[in-house]
Amino acid sequence: MTLRVQILKDKFNSSLGLPFKELLPASVIEQALSELKVRYYKRLFDPVVTLWAFLSQVLDTDKSCHNAVSKIIAQLAGEGVELPSTDTSAYCQARVKLPEKLLEQLFGKAAQSLEDKLTIEYLWRGRNVKVIDGSTVSMPDTVENQKAYPQTSSQKPGCGFPIAKIGVIFSLVTGAAVALCIDVMNTHDIKLARQLYQFLNPLDILLGDRAFCTYADIVALLKLNCDAVFRKHQARTTSMRKGKIIGACDKLVTWYKPKKCPTGLSKDEFDALPPTITVREIYYYIVIPGFRTERVSLITTLLEKVTYSTLDIVGLYGQRWDVELDLRHLKTTLGMDVLRCKTPSMVRKEIYIYLLAYNLLRGLMWSAGTTYGTPPLRLSLQGTRHHLNNFIPELLAAHSTKRLQIYCTLLKVIAHKAVPARPARNEPRVRKRRPKAYPLMTKPRHELRKQLQTA
């Protein structure tokens, strides 16, 4: 058993481990296991082998456990050792035993390792910009999942799927996810955001849409020595007469503490808020055909117009759309939109492993872009995943002396073709492919089966 485990570890380190060596070396995994005092038997699917198999599973287009076990068998086939069973139960049980805290720590360490690579030339006006947003993911309709993450109340029991709400902070420079929180579907974005502020560093700038533009949250960011650039909440009216004008469509305004304690704040937190704050309001118009928004009002704590010009801030907020693309990469490109695990604990582990895999791909794109002089954010994440999966067999088959050469070729291929810049691109929101003409499910499956039997 020990020989088989060592063979698998060596193979994973030379295939997935080599491209990701800068963000997730084997030593980091071993250190995390040691810190969490994880004890395990010397079996084929020990935590390290299970983790690498789990990562390769979410990076593949076929995400079944059977496919993951088949890869393990294939890697041992030519080594003259006893082959494991094709049954997936051992692998599934090993995934269950993986501590959720382990995956959370590895995700955080991979994100921090990528953040540490940033130098001053990559920052915006010398500041690190983070982007925040929320989204949802669905999961199998099991009793445990429904209890932890209930479906929307508008759907009948048995006709919908459990849904979890996630809040994510992404780095604007690298595109990597730096913080994550998971809650039930009807959780407001503000509640998720308040759990994520702890992951911000002093002097960070947080970029977000109008859901995050509240008095209390701007104060919270200022206390962390961070700044904010948010779109103005629709509940606040815009007055052209109030405020100190500092430029065209640019003014300083005074906000007053709310008269009533907002939902989500305790009385002590509300009492601790200052009576007033000064923010900067910038408003402008969008005249691009196809854009739904015509007028935008921004609220920011970046008050120095000389350091942060009006056009700079408007251009910065224009990059907020990148967070939508990052979430699309996670949910559509990697396939996190519909999870496969059947218990809440495994669902959370699956989300963390997806974000870890996403960050590892972003790290590979960063290495390729900085090595060959291509902006990393202009590289294709889907293309990076394709190239990585196609290069893994070559990395496995090569000797140690040739492996580094193949890895350098992988970076060159990833950086070869950048995604073209398409500012102000818009497409009509229509579908050309017609869905199948099946009616929607309005009753639980067991009731529909009875109807078929009695028909």
User: Does residue 217 sit within a domain?
Assistant: no
Structure tokens at 25: 């070396």
User: Does residue 238 sit within a domain?
Assistant: yes
Q: What is the 3-state secondary structure (H, E, C) of 210-243?
A: HHHCCHHHHHHHHHCCCEEEEECCCCCCCCCCCC
User: Does residue 291 sit within a domain?
Assistant: yes
**pLDDT value at position 332?**
95
CB burial of residue 332 (10 Å; 0-12, 13-18, 19+): exposed
Q: How far apart are CA 152 and CA 416, in angstroms?
A: 45
CA neighbor of 111 nearest in space, from 194, 190, 36, 169: 169
**pLDDT value at position 284?**
87
- CA 380 to each of CA 84, 364, 366: distance values in angstroms, whole numbers, following the listed order: 36, 11, 11
Backbone angles phi, psi at 419, to 5 degrees: -70, 130
Distance of alpha carbon 126 from the chain centroid = 24
3-state secondary structure at position 148: helix
**DSSP count for the chain of H helices, then E strands:** 16, 9
Contact between residue 371 and residue 386 where contact means Cβ atoms under 8 Å apart: no
**pLDDT value at position 240?**
58
Given the structure tokens 């109030």, which residue do they identify? 242
pTM over 0.75: yes
User: Does residue 269 sit within a domain?
Assistant: yes
Distance of alpha carbon 74 from the chain centroid = 31
Structure tokens at 121: 């030339």
- CA 394 to each of CA 13, 302, 344, 362: distance values in angstroms, whole numbers, following the listed order: 13, 50, 37, 21
> How many structural domains are present in the chain?
1
Structure tokens at 201: 């560093």
Angle value at C-alpha 179, between 173 and 183, nearest 5 degrees: 140
Angle value at C-alpha 14, between 22 and 351, nearest 5 degrees: 60
User: Does residue 349 sit within a domain?
Assistant: no
The per-residue pLDDT string of the chain (455 residues; one tens digit each, 9 = 90 and over) reads: 578 888 888 888 888 888 898 888 888 888 898 899 887 777 888 888 899 999 999 999 999 999 999 999 998 888 888 888 899 999 999 999 999 999 999 999 999 999 999 989 999 999 999 999 999 999 999 999 999 999 998 888 888 999 999 999 999 999 999 999 999 999 999 999 999 999 999 999 999 999 999 999 999 999 999 999 999 988 887 665 678 888 888 999 999 999 999 888 999 999 999 999 999 999 888 877 666 667 889 999 999 999 999 999 999 999 998 999 999 999 999 999 999 999 999 999 999 999 999 999 999 999 999 999 999 999 999 999 999 999 998 988 888 789 999 999 999 999 998 888 877 777 788 888 888 888 888 888 888 899 888 87
CA neighbor of 167 nearest in space, from 208, 228, 227, 113: 208
Backbone angles phi, psi at 312, to 5 degrees: -60, -45
Q: Which residues contact 71 (CB under 8 A, 6 or more apart)?
A: 53, 56
Q: How far apart are CA 28 and CA 48, in angstroms?
A: 11
Q: How far apart are CA 222 and CA 264, in angstroms?
A: 19
Domain ranges, residue 288:
226-304
Q: How far apart are CA 362 and CA 20, in angstroms?
A: 10
**pLDDT value at position 307?**
94
Burial 48-57 (b: 16+ CB within 10 A, else e): bbbbbbbbbb
**pLDDT value at position 243?**
82
User: Does residue 335 sit within a domain?
Assistant: no
Positive/negative CA dihedral, 22, 349, 49, 399: negative
Q: Which residues contact 176 (CB under 8 A, 6 or more apart)?
A: 110, 111, 114, 115, 170, 358, 359, 362, 363
User: Does residue 267 sit within a domain?
Assistant: yes
User: Does residue 279 sit within a domain?
Assistant: yes
Given the structure tokens 């990697």, which residue do they identify? 334
Q: How far apart are CA 7 and CA 143, in angstroms?
A: 39
Neighbours of 278 (CB within 10 A): 12
Burial 307-320 (b: 16+ CB within 10 A, else e): ebebeebbebbeeb
Q: What is the DSSP letter of 248?
A: T
